[in-house]
Amino acid sequence: MIHILLLHSTLSFSQLISTDTTSLAKERLQKNRIKWVAAGNIGGYGGAMIGLYSAWYRNYPQSKFHSFNDWREWKQVDKVGHLYGAYIESVGSMELWRWAGMDRKKRIWIGGLSGAAYQTIIEVLDGFSKDWGWSWGDFAANITGSGLLIGQELAWDEQRIRIKFSYHPLSYNDPQVQERSNQLFGSNQSNRFLKDYNGQTYWASISVASFLQNSKWPKWLNIAVGYGAEGLLGGRENRASTPVGGVVFDRRDIPRVRQWYLAPDIDWKKIHTNRAGLRFLFTVLNAFKFPAPALEFSAGKVRLHPIYF
């Protein structure tokens, strides 16, 4: 009997030691992951800022910090772009903190506010750029983008409405229009991807199954509502002049049109997998609208696109 008690005590002590060792290992791994994520945020954002400065700010004159009202420009496509940027950056940051093992509410708030913080730093750069300035409209869009992530996570513990992006390159047969487009948005596709509002579409991709209880609707199949515009060859009008009043471009004959879209989409995060690599890939893919047939509503007309991106 004594031998049995001793054996039991030895086993219990061994299990306790094993449990403590496992807990310490998990705690150490979590701390290391938090350090890696913090370093990745700093390094990744620093690299992104260098790239953005090279593509956007380097060739433009600087000035004292100032603000301006650009709400009426670009049919507000740029504002939706700010919302998207803050939302996606918040998603990426939150998912990294989730991987690091951070508590739910902490990762929601820290990750969620990251997008607004990153975008606000960009807004400060605009404030020192002579051709732009600090925009309260942009700042509001940044806050809204982060708020969309935070609000959904706190309310539903998931993203039922995902903000996504798509882009298609554009070229023009009219040499004057093509030259103006190159001046505004750049002549290479990396610049145009960031700048050409005519080729950008922003989407609210809605998880239908999340809103329908006991439904057979596929969890991964979303319905997306998109917004874009075309004919934008200037901020407020398709006309440009020199400081002394000389007209250098006047194509007000080209209509500036808002475009709305309706299309199916995929929520990649709703596709179950145990592979970490695939989960990471699905997170990246969810930043972009899946190419699919789409209905376009613009200028009082309806148009079907067999494939739209």
What per-residue confidence (pLDDT) applies to 142?
A: 96
Q: Are residues 170 and 277 in the same domain?
A: yes
* Helix 136-156 × helix 104-127 angle, to 10°: 170
Q: Which residues contact residue 31 at a Cβ distance below 8 angstroms, ignoring those fewer than 6 apart?
A: none
Q: For every one of its 309 residues, what pLDDT tens digit does the chain have, with 9 covering 90 and above?
A: 544 433 344 444 445 455 556 666 666 766 677 777 777 767 766 777 777 777 667 777 888 999 999 999 999 999 999 999 999 999 999 998 888 888 999 999 999 999 999 998 888 888 988 878 899 999 999 999 999 999 999 999 999 999 999 999 999 999 999 999 999 998 888 888 989 999 999 999 999 999 998 889 999 999 999 999 999 999 999 999 877 667 889 999 999 999 999 999 999 999 998 888 898 899 999 999 999 999 999 999 999 999 998
Specify the number of domains making up the chain: 2
Q: Are residues 149 and 175 in the same domain?
A: no
* Enclosing domain of residue 175: 160-309
The reported pTM is: 0.85
Q: Are residues 190 and 299 in the same domain?
A: yes
pLDDT digits (tens, 9 = 90+) for 2-30: 444 333 444 444 454 555 566 666 667 66
Q: Are residues 180 and 277 in the same domain?
A: yes
What per-residue confidence (pLDDT) applies to 99?
A: 85
Chain-centre distance for alpha carbon 305: 24
Q: Are residues 141 and 193 in the same domain?
A: no
Q: Are residues 206 and 164 in the same domain?
A: yes
Q: Are residues 253 and 203 in the same domain?
A: yes
Residue 120's φ and ψ, nearest 5 degrees, are -70, -35
Among residues 159, 180, 197, the one where a domain terminates is 159
Among residues 97, 126, 159, the one where a domain terminates is 159
Is there a domain that residue 7 lies in?
no
Among residues 128, 159, 190, the one where a domain terminates is 159
Q: Are residues 251 and 289 in the same domain?
A: yes
What per-residue confidence (pLDDT) applies to 45?
A: 66
Q: Are residues 140 and 218 in the same domain?
A: no
Write out the two tokens for 234.
Answer: 């200037």
Q: Are residues 148 and 165 in the same domain?
A: no
